[in-house]
């Protein structure tokens, strides 16, 4: 169990963790949270989960991996 999975289990319960592990089989990290939702992601997609019900609300698919490019003239 990763440190992100352990934190979700400790703070929000095993039900929410099971829902997240079903969507992110390769693993996830915590992106952010508010009073109503917890957002997790893996670089190619992010999902919001309700803190009250533990179910997925929204999913955002990122078209390309984000990179920082340094432009040299």
Cβ neighbourhood burial of 36 (10 Å; 0-12, 13-18, 19+): exposed
Cβ(36)–Cβ(55) below 8 Å? no
**Contact (Cβ atoms closer than 8 angstroms) between residue 45 and residue 56:** no
Neighbours of 8 (CB within 10 A): 25
- Which regions of the chain does DSSP assign to beta strands (E)? 29-33, 37-41, 45-50, 56-61
Read off the pLDDT of residues 11-62 as tens digits, 9 standing for 90 and up. Answer: 999 999 999 999 999 999 999 999 999 999 998 899 999 999 999 999 998 8
**The pLDDT value given to residue 67:** 64
């Amino acid at each position: 169990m990763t440190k992100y999975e352990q934190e979700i289990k400790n703070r929000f319960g095993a039900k929410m963790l099971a829902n997240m592990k079903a969507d992110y089989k390769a693993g996830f990290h915590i992106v952010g949270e508010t009073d109503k939702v917890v957002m997790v992601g893996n670089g190619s997609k992010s999902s919001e989960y309700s803190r009250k019900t533990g179910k997925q609300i929204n999913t955002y698919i990122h078209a390309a991996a984000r990179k920082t490019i340094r432009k040299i003239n």
